[in-house]
Amino acid sequence: MGNENEYSLKSIFQLVIGKWWLILILAIVGAGAAFGFSKYVMPLEYRSYTSMYVKNNNTVTGDAVNLSDLNASKSLVSTYIAVLQDDAVLDEVGNELLKKYPVDKLKESFSIDNEKKTVGINSIRDCLTMSSVDDTEVLKIVAVTKDPA
């Protein structure tokens, strides 16, 4: 077999170094395109989160914490998530939003029923994510909207 298709690392490195100007130009153009895309094409999203420690309200004598209390607290996280995603709770969240912000401002992030003057429950639900942090008794709630307020 001949040496027709064999290249050494030295020859490849020399080829790359010989085209340094092309690599620099392509890097600058790529960075500019990525900046332009993220600045002018991608929609802005604002993310806010809170974490809550869910504790089993079982009275414990002294400072002792047993495994069953921790497991009960972990299982309570999924119960809290189910309660917080309930329509009645989200409807109340919508009512509080209407008290705090004008309807025109809320229309930027949520669907509004003009007849009933209510915020759409599904639009609130779509912007919220609730989960247990690393399968612990910590509940993390994340809200993502197009408006920072």
Which contacts qualify for 64-69: CB closer than 8 Å, 24 or more apart? none
How large a percentage of the chain has pLDDT more than 70? 92
Lowest mean pLDDT among 31-35, 119-123, 134-138: 134-138
Residue 119 near residue 94, CB atoms below 8 Å: yes
**54 exposed, middle or buried (CB, 10 Å; 0-12, 13-18, 19+)?**
buried
What are the start-end ranges of the H helices in the chain?
A: 9-18, 20-40, 67-84, 87-100, 103-106, 121-127
Which pLDDT value is given to residue 34? 95
> For 40-72, what is each residue's pLDDT tens digit?
998 888 899 999 888 776 655 555 667 777 777
Of all residues in the chain, what percent are helix, strand and coil, respectively (each to 5)? 50, 15, 30
Backbone angles phi, psi at 3, to 5 degrees: -95, 20
Question: Considering the entire predicted model, what is its pTM?
Answer: 0.64
Which pLDDT value is given to residue 147? 81
Residues 22, 34: Cα–Cα separation, whole Å: 18
> For 62-105, what is each residue's pLDDT tens digit?
556 677 777 777 778 888 889 999 999 999 999 998 899 888 88
> Residue 145 pLDDT > 70, yes or no?
yes
Amino acid occupying residue 25: I
Which pLDDT value is given to residue 50? 92
